[in-house]
């Protein structure tokens, strides 16, 4: 669209319409001394000088290239292959949104189709949508979908306390006014069998996280028993997962999950000071028409040529609003593309290598931290995060680590009062043995 400036006649017409004599008269409510202040701007700089100054300012932030990071809690520092940025930088894809005439953008649709297919392979499910804002909104949408599957006749959701606390908060915020009662996470220490005991015929969904927020991998037998209890009561089993862990762990589709959600940031998306991220969402064919967002399918035209089409789009723009399962309007297309490129580049063997490196390095770190005087590792079956009870308040421990240039773990007392004094440490494939040994040295140093 060309820039069309207002002419003098345009301005005169507008001023006459609003009943003022001049533009200045529009600003009479602003104190006169503040209307046109003299700005003390520095002298102009050349582009190299501006870049140098911006780089200097940027270096005031800590970055993960310079500082070892042991902080996870839902967002993780993983290696991103160069091919991800290369593909994302192509002009055809470099937009966070999607076209409103989708079938004319076959490349975009194919990218979404590939993303959906890879998420289905990863989770063991039948269909995936084109992503949500983040893992928390994906979980909230799973609960809304469960309500829709039961046509509003069930109003109870059972959710584990070890689901990410911010996911649970988001779910409660999202479902305000829907009459949904979320229960099961109020009491510390409820096991999966305990959750199975509170599932009843009013339960629409049972929600767990694998590995859970504390990094623990629950017993597969207990998960299966919970899935059976949910299904016997007619409820859906929703499983939130860390996608990297699926390089080692069994896909949720194989142990009874009806909906699988999670945060897609570990798949080729940098931490980026907290976002943007993406939430992946997969389900079984039986429920696909209740799924929020949109789904791209593959077909052939009359000449037999392959084509990609917007197959399902339960969005208020495309169907009658009252039939939409949600009013979510967009997805994180560019982040989803990054996830697709990452998964395609890594392949099953590469993902397993990353997951295995995370697992073994985290267990090496836990074994060393556990031998320190005053530290007690509370986790046993875990993936790449573990809980450590500290001899001092985690804030003090974290301060000591920061003073040595190490990014500490998450203070669990912020979300779990029963874990006051505990820190959640995360180790990924990017943490070297030297970094882990240094972490242990600082933790073990006299206070």
DSSP 248-286: TSPPGGGTT-SEEEEE-TTTT---GGG----EEEEE-GG
Query: Which pLDDT tens digit goes with each residue over 130-186?
Result: 999 999 999 999 999 999 999 989 999 999 999 999 999 999 999 999 999 999 999
pTM of the model: 0.88
Cβ partners under 8 Å of residue 319, min gap 6: 313
Pairwise CA distance, residues 120 & 126, whole Å: 6
Q: Confidence band (pLDDT; 50, 70, 90) for 359?
A: very high
For the beta carbon of residue 363, count every other beta carbon within 10 angstroms.
17
Residue 390, pLDDT above cutoff 90: yes
Whole-number Cα distances in Å, 388 to 391, 422, 424, 436: 10, 5, 6, 15
Residue 316, pLDDT above cutoff 60: no
Q: What percent of the chain has pLDDT over 70?
A: 95
- Looking at residue 327, its pLDDT comes to 66
Residue 68, pLDDT above cutoff 70: yes
Residue 1, pLDDT above cutoff 60: no
Cβ partners under 8 Å of residue 220, min gap 6: 250, 255
Residue 55, pLDDT above cutoff 70: yes
For the purposes of burial, counting CB atoms within 10 Å of the CB of 110, is it exposed (0-12), middle (13-18) or buried (19 or more)? Answer: middle
Residue 318, pLDDT above cutoff 70: no
Pairwise CA distance, residues 342 & 268, whole Å: 5
Average pLDDT along the chain: 93
175: its two tokens: 């479902």
Find tokens 């929020």 and name the residue: 292
- Looking at residue 5, its pLDDT comes to 80
Query: Which pLDDT tens digit goes with each residue over 225-255?
Result: 999 999 999 999 999 999 999 999 999 999 9
What does the DSSP 8-state code read for residue 328? Answer: -
Pairwise CA distance, residues 264 & 269, whole Å: 8
279-283 and 259-263: which strand pairing?
A: antiparallel
Residue 2, pLDDT above cutoff 60: no
Residue 314, pLDDT above cutoff 70: no
Query: Which pLDDT tens digit goes with each residue over 69-128?
Result: 999 999 999 999 999 999 999 988 887 566 667 788 888 899 999 999 999 999 999 999
Is the separation of the CB atoms in 346 and 354 below 8 Å? Answer: yes
410-411 and 422-426: which strand pairing?
A: antiparallel
């Amino acid at each position: 669209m060309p820039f069309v400036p207002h002419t003098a006649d345009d301005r005169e017409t507008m001023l006459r319409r609003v009943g003022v004599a001049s533009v200045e008269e529009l600003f009479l409510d602003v104190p006169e001394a503040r209307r046109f202040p003299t700005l003390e701007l520095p002298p102009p700089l050349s582009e190299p000088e501006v870049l140098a100054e911006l780089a200097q300012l940027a270096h005031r932030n800590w970055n993960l290239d310079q500082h070892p990071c042991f902080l996870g809690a839902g967002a993780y520092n993983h290696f991103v292959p160069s091919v991800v940025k290369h593909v994302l930088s192509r002009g055809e894809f470099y937009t966070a949104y999607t076209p409103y005439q989708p079938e004319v953008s076959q490349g975009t649709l194919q990218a979404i189709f590939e993303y959906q297919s890879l998420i289905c392979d990863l989770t063991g499910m039948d269909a995936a949508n084109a992503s949500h804002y983040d893992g928390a909104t994906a979980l909230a949408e799973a609960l809304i979908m469960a309500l829709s599957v039961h046509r509003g006749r069930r109003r109870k959701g059972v959710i584990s306390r070890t689901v990410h606390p911010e996911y649970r908060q988001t779910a409660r915020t999202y479902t305000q006014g829907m009459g949904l009662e979320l229960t099961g996470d109020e009491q510390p220490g409820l096991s999966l069998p305990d959750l199975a005991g509170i599932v009843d015929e009013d339960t629409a969904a049972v929600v767990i996280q694998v590995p859970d927020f504390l990094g623990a991998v629950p017993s597969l037998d207990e998960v299966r028993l919970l899935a059976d209890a949910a299904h016997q009561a007619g409820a859906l089993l929703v499983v939130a997962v860390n996608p990297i862990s699926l390089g080692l762990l069994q896909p949720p589709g194989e142990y009874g999950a009806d909906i699988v959600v999670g945060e897609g940031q570990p798949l080729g998306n940098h931490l980026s000071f907290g976002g943007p991220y993406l939430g992946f969402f997969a389900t079984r064919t039986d429920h696909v028409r209740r799924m929020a967002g949109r789904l791209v399918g593959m077909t052939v035209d009359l000449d037999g040529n392959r084509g990609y089409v917007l197959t399902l789009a339960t969005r208020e723009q495309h169907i009658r609003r009252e039939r939409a399962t949600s009013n979510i309007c967009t997805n994180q297309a560019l982040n989803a593309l990054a996830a697709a490129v990452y998964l395609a580049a890594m392949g099953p063997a590469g993902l397993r290598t990353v997951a295995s490196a995370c697992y073994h390095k985290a267990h090496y770190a836990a074994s060393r931290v556990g031998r320190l005087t005053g530290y007690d590792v509370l986790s046993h079956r875990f993936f790449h995060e573990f809980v450590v009870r500290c001899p001092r308040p985690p804030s003090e421990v974290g301060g000591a680590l920061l003073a040595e240039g190490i990014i500490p773990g998450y203070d669990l007392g912020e979300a779990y009062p029963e874990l006051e004094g505990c820190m959640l440490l995360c180790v990924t494939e990017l943490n070297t043995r030297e970094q882990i040994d240094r972490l242990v040295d600082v933790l073990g140093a006299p206070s």
